[in-house]
Amino acid sequence: QPERSGTSLGERVAAELERTRRRSALLTDAVDDADLVRQHSPLMSPLVWDLAHIGNQEELWLVRDVGGREPVRQDIDHLYDAFKHARRDRPQLPLLGPAEARAYVATVRDKVLDVLDRLPADAALPDAPPDALPHTLPHEVPDAGRRLVRDGFAFGMIVQHEQQHDETMLATHQLRSGPPVLSAGPPPAAKVTVGGEVLVPAGAFDMGTSTEAWALDNERPAHRVDVAAYWIDAAPVTNAQYAAFIDDGGYDDPRWWTTEGWRHRTEASLVAPLHWTRDGGGWYATTFGRTAPVVPDAPVVHVCFHEAKAYATWAGRRLPTEAEWEKAARHDPATGRSRRYPWGDNDPTDRHANLGQRHLTPAPVGAYPDGASPLGVHQLIGDVWEWVDSGFLPYPGFSAFPYREYSEVFFGGDYRMLRGGSFGTDRAACRGTFRNWDHPVRRQIFSGFRTARDASPAELA
């Protein structure tokens, strides 16, 4: 993990870009060329599209915008504009082939490293001093110091963008058929017993951030949010808990489902999480080409929002709101401050959370005691993205940066938020404030959930 202070902006960014490209290479070199150009699911792009799209975004922002250089391949911009062509239509486009795509991303990267080399030697990405980083990150800034902050953000944004597409490519791998091509060590075993629920007392907390250097526009600015007392699960809902819902006929009882959820459950014939099959008495899951019994005490993964909500209703509970999730993840009751992560302000390490594709599955509940919050809520970061019962809305004072299409065009749509990151999320693209979103029917992503309930006056007396 690179040192933050004392390292030049150029060195830190180059190390993160390099680390990230190794992951993209691993995901795209694991399969042959035919597999790279194939569409494994209409929900996903061919892997070769993601690869060239990563390079094209890097060209747009770092070569052309920050670097002020001539375009490398302006002619292909439209092919890799995610708004011009739906995922299902991308295989029909005249895309760069595997060799061309690899050469393109390498050329772009060479130019980016050259842009970085020419940054002033003393340029340092500030450790987010509150006054140096306006939450709006204005695009046009006269003063050179601000310009560096902005450029630092642009590099961070591109690192995160590549990591986000790496997670998307990992989800594509999960959908491909054939013998396994990815492997990783098993996640750590449970070290402590975790279960039940935790009371989060009533009170305001600071949601979002104005100081996190690489936070994206939708995480900004920090603002006070008042939250009534609530109980939240100490851990994500496990496979065993979810299987109890199935065994109790949960998928056949409209009482547990919203009208919209029941319609979807019926039309899509949902009977269990994606990739689950029943064999004899037990449930099996196919994970990156390997089929094995589901691990009872590991968080359930590959459920859609409607399934999460139906489970919560069946359990006599509800999903947390986005504010409740973030308060559980960041609020320090001793100081009243919001932390960067449940465990404090330090970047995640292997001890804290299951992130970064180090393992190819969620870890069992209790595997990361060092990552717990002060109130004892575990595994908020890593393992599975957690559905929360909130739509995608801007925070008060939101300002789109650097482009409206990252967040703003999605506000108010048919989306539900997901928080905390999965085993496939890199630490550069994950923090207590990070906001992810998807359609409520999607479950090819690494999505799970935990439940919550209101605290009753009697419980607070």
> Looking at 39-47, 97-105, 160-168, 389-397, which segment touches ligand AVJ (CB under 6 A)?
160-168
DSSP conformational letter for 242: H
Find tokens 């597409």 and name the residue: 165
Helices 144-175, 47-58: crossing angle, 10 deg rounding? 180
Are the CB atoms for 304 and 263 separated by under 8 Å?
Answer: no
Query: Which residue of this chain has its Cβ atom nearest to ligand AVJ in the complex?
Result: 164
161 vs 327, beta carbon nearer ligand AVJ: 161
CB-nearer residue toward ligand AVJ: 49 or 257 = 49
Find the part of the chain contacting ligand AVJ (CB under 6 A) among 7-15, 38-46, 161-169, 316-324: 161-169
Is position 165 annotated in a ligand binding site?
yes
* Beta partners for residue 224, in sequence order: 206
**Min dist. Cβ of residue 164 to ligand AVJ (A):** 4
23 binds ligand AVJ (CB under 6 A): no
C-alpha to C-alpha distance for 245 and 49, rounded to whole angstroms = 39
Structure tokens at 49: 């599209």
Q: How far is the CB of 406 from ligand AVJ (least distance, A)?
A: 6
C-alpha span between 446 and 86 (Å, rounded): 21
Tell me the closest approach of the beta carbon of residue 167 to ligand AVJ, in angstroms: 8
Any known ligand binding at 275?
Answer: no
CB of 364 to ligand AVJ, least distance (A): 26
Asked if 305 touches ligand AVJ (CB under 6 A), the answer is no
CA-to-CA separations, 224 to 2, 221, 421, in angstroms, rounded: 32, 10, 23
Q: For the chain, give me the number of helices (H) and strands (E)?
A: 10, 12
Count of residues for the chain?
A: 461
Tell whether 89 is in a known binding site.
yes
Residue ranges in 403-442 that form contacts with ligand AVJ under rule CB under 6 A: 406, 436-437
The residue within the footprint of ligand AVJ, chosen from 7, 107, 164, 321 (CB under 6 A), is 164
- What angle in degrees, to the nearest 10, is found between the helix axes of 98-117 and 9-29? 170
Q: Is 386 within 8 Å of 196 (Cβ atoms)?
A: no
**Interface pick for ligand AVJ out of 168, 172, 338, 379 (rule CB under 6 A):** 168
Q: Would the annotation count 220 as a binding residue?
A: no
- CA neighbor of 419 nearest in space, from 236, 276, 273, 155: 236
Residue nearer to ligand AVJ on the CB measure, 239 or 436: 436
* Of the candidates 22, 437, 426, the residue with the CA atom closest to the CA atom of residue 219: 437
For binding to ligand AVJ (CB under 6 A), which residues are involved? 161, 164, 168, 406, 436-437
- Which residues line the annotated binding site? 53, 87-90, 161, 165, 438, 442
- Which residues line the annotated binding site for Fe cation? 53, 161, 165
